[in-house]
Chain A
Amino acid sequence: MVTYIIRRLIAAVLMLVVVSIVTFSIFFVVPRLAGVTATDFANRYVGSKGATAETVVALADKLGFNDPLTVQYGRWVKGIVAGSDFDTGASIEHCPAPCFGYSFITKTPVWPELLDRLPVTVSLAIGASVIWLVAGVSTGVLSALRRGSFFDRAAMGVALAGVSLPIFFTGMMSLVFFSYKLGITAPGRSYTSFVDDPVRWAYNLILPWITLAFLYAAVYARLTRAGMLETMGEDYIRTARAKGLREPTVIVKHGLRGALTPIITIFGMDVGLLLGGAILTETTFSLPGLGKYAVQAISANDLPKIMGVTMLVAFFVVMANLLVDLLYAVVDPRVRLR
């Protein structure tokens, strides 16, 4: 067990290193290959301040865009691990670890901003994931048990529609209908911190939760149904019935347990991804979370911010995968042997 955990941990760290290299490449190597020069990079950092050509060339040098790529990568990683200093012109800003960079456009370090946005995204992800897990899995199980019934057909029809609808469309239509026409839910742009007012927090988030959960619940219902149909046909289910177990026990303890293992994997990955910013949901409902932050950073050309948020998402995904792997080892002893 211990060796398994250690192996998984090493794999997770390696994964993060690979992701950091890819992230760095996307922002610094790929544009280079497309013919972008160091001066262009410096121009992006300056933003729309309208600096003279000489200043930009000097800045490119100062920010190290002319250094070899490996040196630039090393400097970026060092900042994340150990922190670094930034010369903003007027003063030298110290940016403690984890330093995901310093935005020269808004003159702020990235990390505190990320921390600021995190609670919004976490609230959205947790609420939605609880709803979709309960709704999706129970619908899937019921559909599988009553295969071919009216309920099964209706539920699978709705689920198929659910996976075919883009979240920004359902989100916008539900905003128009429930918030602006009926006035029973909060309009877009509403967010209250849980600490300030838990009731308001839930009221403001209920529509985003349901919209987001609907999409995932559809996917989970389809997966659970398929999984249940497969496991309920296994020999051990027949054995369980043959030894006289009551049907609910057979379904929950034997059937569902087997069907849920793949669901756990996908759930882990989905939540991990969402924690890094439910980009489309946050944009549709104008929630100030990490996803919205990423979109704003991209439209403002703010490189350090984009890289910071990308790395944070990757971190969450890798952590979620790690957790799922460890959970697997606890649930299913065979996994440890691999």
Chain B
Amino acid sequence: MTAPLDVSGDEQHAAPEAVSQGAGAKAIQGRSLGQIAWTRLKRDKVAMGGAGVVVFLILAAVFAPVVVGWFGHPPNEFHQEMIDTLTMQPKGGTGISADFLFGVEPVNGRDLFSRVVYGARISLLVAFLATLLSVVIGSIMGVVAGYFGGWVDALISRLMDVFLAFPLLVFALSLVGVLGQFETQLAIKGDTLRILLLVFIIGFFNWPYIGRIIRGQTLSLREREFVDAARSIGARGPYILFREILPNLIAPILIYATLLIPSNVLFEAALSFLGVGIQPPTATWGGMLAAAVKYYTVPHFMFFPGMAIFITVLAFNLFGDGLRDALDPRSSR
């Protein structure tokens, strides 16, 4: 990949001055691809906004106990005093107050704010780990298929076709269901088991999407002059793969990883919503929505976890789109 010539914005003005001053005040410095992309990304306000929200969400998830300590109550603490004993609904409709920022759940009065904050932990953890798994499998398979070609490529490509044709949600649902039900026979239990299961299943079924893209990129990179040059000075397979081809794949890997995270957030929420994800009483956004189905007269119960999913997914999508525009000079909007 050659460095794209980016002469928009401030560089356009900087260049003539530099020439007129000769090599005087400041020497002209070459900028790496990463620096160029970073300058472009910084100019994209929407993407930076998305990134800001993402950082905020990650911090909130990591420091959930602190955040909840300041603004809420423990996520599984019952607040019966907030519940109208006749209707079993929160007093005053939602129970929203300075004490309970998002109000309380019907029946047992758990703090919705705390549960949404704790839900971010599961959601982001599963989405990140699953994406990591997909990216690792997908990149390796894609590079191997694209670089070696022949029967290796044919085999891996077929395999990717098979995976892509699979009814993903049904399989994931069945697999989590089947394995989850044999919990008593397994060594790991509870939330840890569920999180690992979700990561494995979401990650394992999503790798062909990245695999295909990486394979295509590798196919074209393999024929490039710099690979020929490396080969002509005696470089062998592993060196070419890791030192020549892989660094050029970082941009697409990064872009599709960022765009895979939001779809994995949705996937985890869907599985939790269907009751095969992390089990209650641990708070998950999908699980909260599933519980809220029964209480459609108190819509704030479904509103907050739903909006949490929406904002998270939207932020990642905005950032991912911006990253793609910044890293891929051909894309234009």
Residues of A within 8 A of B (CB): 15, 18-19, 22-23, 26-27, 30-31, 34-36, 40, 44, 160-161, 163-166, 168-169, 172-173, 175-176, 180, 269, 273, 276-277, 279-280, 283-284, 294-295, 298-299, 301, 306, 309-310, 313-314, 317-318, 321
Contact = CB atoms under 8 A, between A and B. Distances in A.
A176 B299 CA distance: 7
A164 B274 contact: no
B270 A166 contact: yes
A100 to B, nearest CB: 14
A35 B184 CA distance: 10
B17 to A, nearest CB: 32
A333 B138 CA distance: 32
Nearest to B317: A164
Contacts of B275: 295, 299
A309 B170 contact: yes
Contacts of B173: 279, 294-295, 298
B178 A173 contact: no
Given A19-B166, A166-B269, 11 more contacts: A15-B162, A164-B313, A172-B289, A176-B296, A176-B302, A269-B165, A283-B273, A298-B177, A301-B181, A306-B174, A310-B171
Contacts of A166: 266, 269-270, 273, 286, 289, 306, 309-310, 313
A235 to B, nearest CB: 17
A68 B265 CA distance: 39
Nearest to B164: A269
Nearest to B169: A279
27 contacts: A15-B162, A22-B166, A23-B171, A26-B175, A40-B182, A160-B314, A163-B317, A164-B310, A165-B309, A165-B310, A166-B269, A166-B286, A168-B270, A168-B289, A169-B306, A172-B302, A173-B299, A279-B170, A279-B173, A279-B274, A280-B274, A298-B276, A299-B275, A301-B181, A314-B166, A314-B167, A317-B166
Chain B interface, DSSP helix/strand/loop, else mixed: helix
Contacts of B169: 279-280
B170 A310 contact: yes
B239 interface: no
A164 B165 CA distance: 23
A176 B301 CA distance: 12
A206 to B, nearest CB: 19
Contacts of A169: 289, 302, 306, 309-310
Given A298-B173, A306-B177, A34 B182 contact: yes
B160 interface: no
- Of B165, B275, B289, B318, chain A has the most CB atoms within 10 Å of the CB of B165
A26 B174 contact: yes
Contacts of B292: 172
6 A-B pairs with least C-beta separation: A169-B306, A313-B167, A164-B313, A164-B314, A298-B177, A176-B296
Given A277-B170, A298-B174, A35 B186 contact: yes
Contacts of B55: none
Nearest to B299: A176
Given A169-B289, A175-B296, A176-B299, A34 B186 contact: yes
A279 B169 CA distance: 8
